[in-house]
Structure 1
Amino acid sequence: MIDKCRKLWTVVVVFSMLIVSMAAIAPGASAAPVASFEVTGPKFGTSPMYVNILTNFTLTASEPSDIWYRWDDTPLTKYTEPFHAVVIIGSAGGAPPLPMDLDEGPHTLYYNCTGEAPKSLPIFLDNLVPITTLGYVGTHYSGDYQFVESDTQITLASTDAGSAVKEIRYAINNGPETVYTLPFTVLGLGLQTIVYWSTDNLGNLESQRSITVSVDNDAPDILISLGTPQLTVSGAVHIGATTPIAVSFTDISGLSSYGYKIDGGAWTDYNGPFAIPTEGHHTIFARATDNMGHASAEISLPVTVDSIAPVVTVTGTSGDTIQVGLGDKIVLQATDTGVGECIISYSFDGGITWKVYTQPLQMLGDTNITYYATDALGNSATQLTVRVYVSETSSSWRLYLGIALIVGGVLVAISTFFMFRKVPEAESSVKKKALKSREEEPEPKKKNHKRKR
């Protein structure tokens, strides 16, 4: 009896639910429309969903109905077609409404069908591109270019205020693009160009940035050069007291300090050519440090300063005169304490034509000889003049040219000269009287011969 009652109750309940269900869905009636959204284009994440100005929003209704939407607390806008993250602003006077971009950052999209409670979608508007910065680990100097060593590590870092950085890429000298994962170095010498950029998770692409780097692993190159006059004799460099001395410093990254010193003196900043006025042996030193901190070794150049002119002598002179016999020869002799290799120049009787002395000068009459000497560095002696008197007999002296070379106080070469016997005064007088008597002897008279007829 009880089981029959239970079965009857179950049938009644099921039948009642069927009646209620059928009554709820009356003929011609439909369910309330429900709005939904679809996002296409750039997007990342869900809550919030990161989007940019290119992202499309599409709204649909489950049943025919008007759909409404708004951004944040702006007025409702009737949905007609897919839209971007812009606000439609109405215009006065019946003009078409104007779209206005939303500001960067978080926003909320509200949407619903007519009669439906509004629903929301949190978004983050991200139109900004990432910003990539380049850095260095190791020796580096920023000048006309970015100077590095071959083992200096180059780092890349990027920041993005929105959807975050997806990747960093770089390329060297128009080479293949590489996804940055670890610091890298630049190989090879010379100027090299690195381009780099980042992309965020929305695809916002940063414009390529570029930087030119140059690898500098070496200390500066230094060269000491000498102007004129200068002469190298047996490996020794001779210069004058006014010879310009220039020092050149060359380095890829430029110089932070550079200078020179003479002998054991103080270091001096190099500002241009200089000279050493002090006679004797000296050593020039130079050094430099570049902007990368590479210090050169000191270089040196030994020189000998010779500013003293040679001295010319005429052996046998008495003061500024000399007496020789007819046809005798005058010899000029030069001495020099420095580089030597002298050239003696002379002229007769104040003439403007100077001749280079190469052999003894034969005297055929009274004359004035002006002479001077110049050494191989151009040091010239003061011009001197000697008065030569020529007698009709052989003189007491016969001279021969010689050049004595004294270097560093040491006599390294000397010429010789020959001296002939002096003519006795008595013998000279006899010859003069004989000559005079011959001059005074009357010429023989000519005889007149008459022709005989």
Structure 2
Amino acid sequence: MALEFAGGNQPPDVTPPETTHDIVGEAQNHWYSGPVTVNLKASDSESKVAATYYSINNGDVQTGTSIDIREEGQHVIHYWSKDEFGNVEEKKEVGINIDLTAPVINFSGGDGTVYGIDEIVTISCNGEDVLSGIDTSTCKEISAPAYQLGIGNHTFKAEGVDVAGNKTTVSITITVTVNFESLAGLTESFLHDNGNKEKAVSYLSKLAAAKAAEERGNTKVRDSQLLAFMNHVKAQTNKQITDEQAGYLISFAGELMK
């Protein structure tokens, strides 16, 4: 026997409920950088709402009006309601993207790497973010002769921001040093660049003598040989080497006298 309702054979309500959602959380570029709560609100103008349902990523159907999402990733929430007369709303959906992890900044040169003055400092940098992706990055390629950086520590810093707004800053420090071998190498390099490679012997012999004296513990002879090297550099400035190159060689030779 069919059910009868007052006023005829049709139920008083044949219209399903209407459910809306409200998201609690701050989004940037459609990504959230923290946990999100989705509140569901159902209404029915002709009867009462019996229940509100939802599922996350097509998982198990659950009943409720408040959904907490705390895990990273892309989530699709389907939700709908049913009224007391059995009218079921068509499913609606809302996407929630969460990225809780800051980007990763990678430098090719390891922190604490030591370079001689005759070497080229080459450091690459790149940013990665597996979820929302990199939005901005200050990474840049570094390629410079170590002697131009100068003796001592040098710190390079890079910042990355992902699409969700998570930020990370990474820095590495390298050290530029000078010894007799690297000063000899730089001297040869300068002479070669100027077409005077065959003139290197008179420079290198003085550095070799200074090194041998230091190994014997004779700093007086070491310094006299380094001074002879510096005087030779001065004498050949703007002849075999440029004025700028001479400034570097004299300065580095002075470091070896300390």
1:41-97 deviation per Cα after TM superposition (whole angstroms, max 9, x unaligned): 8x7xx6xx7xxxxxxx45xxxxxxxxxxxxxxxxxxxxxxxxx7xxxxxxxxxxxxx
Identical positions, percent: 22
**Cα 1:283–1:137, aligned 2, differ >3 Å: closer, same or farther?**
same
Cα drift, residue 293 of structure 1: 4.3
Over residues 393-432 of structure 1, what are the superposed CA-to-partner deviations in whole Å (9 max), with x where a residue is unaligned?
Answer: xxxxxx89959889965339xxxxxxxxxxxxxxxxxxxx
Deviations 1:274-307 (A, max 9, x none): 55575325321122344544443x321223579x
Question: 112, 137, 149: which is aligned to 1:279?
Answer: 149
| TM-superposed deviation, 1:168 | 0.8
Aligned to 1:147: 32
Which of 156, 173, 183 is the matching residue for 2:40?
Answer: 156
2:62 counterpart (173, 178, 181): 178
Instruction: Mark the CA change 1:210 to 1:401 in structure 2 (over 3 Å): closer, same or farther.
Output: same
8 Å contact kept, 2:53–2:80: yes
CA distance in 1 between counterparts of 2:112 and 2:57 reads 52
Q: Which has the higher strand share?
A: 1
Question: Among residues 236, 243, 246, which one is paired with 2:125 in the alignment?
Answer: 246
Q: CA deviation at 1:169?
A: 0.5
Q: Which has the higher helix share?
A: 2
Structure 1 unaligned spans of 5+: 1-37, 50-56, 59-83, 85-122, 227-231, 260-269, 307-333, 344-371, 388-398, 413-453
Whether 2:186 is the aligned partner of 1:299: answer no
Match of 2:73 in 1: 190
CA distance in 2, matches of 1:134, 1:157: 6
Q: SS state of the match for residue 133, structure 1?
A: strand
Alignment TM-score, normalising by the size of structure 1 = 0.35
Cα distance between partner residues in 2 of 1:249 and 1:164 = 50
- Write the mapping of 1:45-444 to structure 2, written as runs, cut at 5 A: 57=8, 126-127=14-15, 129-141=16-28, 143=30, 146-147=31-32, 149-150=34-35, 152-181=36-65, 183-226=66-109, 235-237=113-115, 240=120, 243=122, 245-250=124-129, 252-255=131-134, 257-259=136-138, 273=141, 275=143, 278-280=148-150, 282-296=154-168, 298-303=169-174, 336-337=182-183, 342=185, 373=188, 381-384=193-196, 386=198, 402=208, 410-411=255-256
Bigger-Rg structure (1/2): 1
Deviation of 1:386 after TM superposition, in Å, equals 5.0
**CA distance in 2 between partners of 1:142 and 1:169 (Å):** 28
| 142 and 295 in structure 1: CA distance in 2 versus 1, 3 angstrom threshold | closer
Greater RCO structure (CA 8 Å; 6+ sep)? 2
Whether contact under 8 Å (1:126, 1:163) holds in the other structure is no
The answer as to whether partners of 2:136 and 2:161 remain within 8 angstroms in 1 is: yes
Aligned letter for 2:170? Answer: I
Shift in Å at residue 222 of structure 1?
2.0
SS in 2 for 1:40: coil
CA distance in 1, matches of 2:90, 2:209: 81
Q: Secondary structure at the match of 2:67?
A: coil
**Deviation (angstroms), 1:178:** 1.5
How far is 1:173 from its partner?
Answer: 3.9
- Counterpart code for 1:133: T
Asked if the contact 1:219–1:251 (Cα under 8 Å) also holds between the matched residues in 2, the reply is no
Contact 1:170 1:179 in 2 (8 A): yes
